[in-house]
Amino acid sequence: MKMNGNMKILDKNKQLLFLGDNHGNWNNLLYEVESGNISDANIISVGDLGVGFRPNRDFEQYQSLDKQFKDSNIKFYGIRGNHDDPSAFKGDNRIRLDNFELIEDYSIFEYNSKLIQFIGGAISIDRTMRKVGISYWENEGVVFDKDKLQKVDILVTHTAPSWCFPQTFNEMVYGWARDDAYLLEDLIDERAIMDEIFKNCKPSLHVYGHFHSSWNEEINGCRHRLLSINEIWGLSS
């Protein structure tokens, strides 16, 4: 991997793969790696890696993953979801190993002459039952920074703009909203923020997670690809 200013340039000779939310369960991905089905790859997670849920064991696990990825010539990158400690993705606390790295919001990568921007974060609908600093972080949501947005080819996020699946709230959301007076308002505001992000980036491909479903649709010239839990998807898929 080369560096061009603040931009990472990914090895174009490696395939580019995307990983759906895994919530700290690496078994599926490691099975694919250890069986030889995945090697020589750049893997990008769309968030919810479970970072921070086991602070005394997380780094040890990431060191082990780093070694396993090295053995298979894999570079792994992850953005933050709503089930990740945001502090591990920025500044001096950001986790950066040789083959396992957490990505700061608004980072730009280049892959095979295509620009990729990364913006993590989302709201936990069950936040009222979680413990702050242990299973919930109050700064979990999307942070809007227009000055850092760029026109890119690929946008990788955890949540999505309002026109993407799901376009409406399901019964589970309404159930949690009964005990969280601001939940629906916050979720609507979040999707509106994503709308603004998208309008500034204008990508031709958008990859995201968070909603635990698999969905693929082209809308107004952009292909939107939602990844389900542990789903692995490549650009040629």
Whether 94 contacts 64, CB under 8 Å: no
Residues 6+ apart with CB under 8 A from 51: 24, 58, 78, 80, 84, 85, 88, 89, 95, 102
Q: For residues 76 and 51, is the Cβ–Cβ distance under 8 A?
A: no
Q: What is the DSSP string of 111-146?
A: ETTEEEEEE-----TTGGGSPBTTTB-TT-S----G
Q: Which residues contact 173 (CB under 8 A, 6 or more apart)?
A: 125, 183, 184, 187
**DSSP label at residue 85:** -
What pTM did the predictor assign? 0.96
pLDDT of res. 5: 47
3-state secondary structure of 177: helix
Nearest residue to 83 (alpha-carbon basis) of 41, 117, 116, 131: 131
pLDDT confidence of residue 154: 98
Q: Is 220 left (phi over 0), alpha (psi -120 to 50) or beta?
A: left
Q: State residue 4's pLDDT score.
A: 45
Cβ atoms within 10 Å of 155's Cβ, excluding its own? 28
Task: Name the H helices within 35-182.
Answer: 58-71, 171-177
* Amino acid 56: pLDDT: 83
Q: How far apart are CA 50 and CA 47, in angstroms?
A: 8
Q: Determine the distance from the C-alpha atom of residue 171 to the mean position of all C-alpha atoms in its chain, rounded to a whole number.
A: 25
Q: What stretches in the chain show pLDDT beneath 70?
A: 1-6, 236-237
Domains of the chain, first to last: 12-234 (3.60.21.10)
Q: What angle do CA 102, 97, 123 make, to 5 degrees?
A: 15
Alpha carbon distance 13, 29 (integer Å): 21
